[in-house]
Structure 1
Amino acid sequence: MLQPVPFPIRKECPPGACICERERLLDDPQGDTRILRLTSEEEKRLVARIDSISTYADLQHIEERMREQLGIDLRISPGMHEVRTVRGFNIQIVERPGLCRKTRQSIPAAIRRCLDKNPDIAYAILNAHDLLRDD
């Protein structure tokens, strides 16, 4: 039996189209349902907000807000090999129940677009991982 939630939630994906395990999350009384607050409309707003990021501090702030409000743990790091373009960054969202396949693709894509538009953010990420030192 599905638990009632006190806020609007994301519509279920078509059968077989996603592996979000939305129903299992709703059935679990101890489940963290924050991710279900990310409706399709809210996801569009989040992606637009990520696209408009202009500083590394802004990116860190958005990461923290996604963690607090939605339980999304985002990890951005340089790839194992050299980073010549933004494709060289590993941008991952930690798997968790309720996280839609579309969301797992749209947020990293928005971050890549942001890094393309703002190379200073890419350099700040590299610097945060000690790849570019200010010595």
Structure 2
Amino acid sequence: MRALLYVLPFLLALTGCSSDKPMINTSQSLVMESSVLSAGIVTDEPALSEEEGQQRASSVLYNQQEKPVKVHYRFYWYDDKGLEIHPYEPPQTVVVPAHAKIEIASQIGNLTASKARLYLYL
């Protein structure tokens, strides 16, 4: 009986955490590690467009530093329900020259894709 008193609050806490909704907030379309900002890289959320029957997400990275910065990035695609679309695109790497800008982009042929998230890290 005592064991039940200790376990019951834990089980209730776990029950409160479960949800039918996706755990990912798809309205947050840009995730950037603090080290990227510290390195002088700034950007905007990815812009979505349609090109030749495919969904396209693009973003421009700006380097505010005196030296080039190597940035790793990955685009994630989601449908209207917030479910991630497979297959995953592999991480990419780009070098942004000093005081310059460079466009990065991703295309997906899945027409159910309606949202994209850009994740940037060093």
State TM-score, norm by structure 2. 0.31
Q: More helix per residue: 1 or 2?
A: 1
Q: More strand per residue: 1 or 2?
A: 2
State TM-score, norm by structure 1. 0.29
Bigger radius of gyration among the two: 2
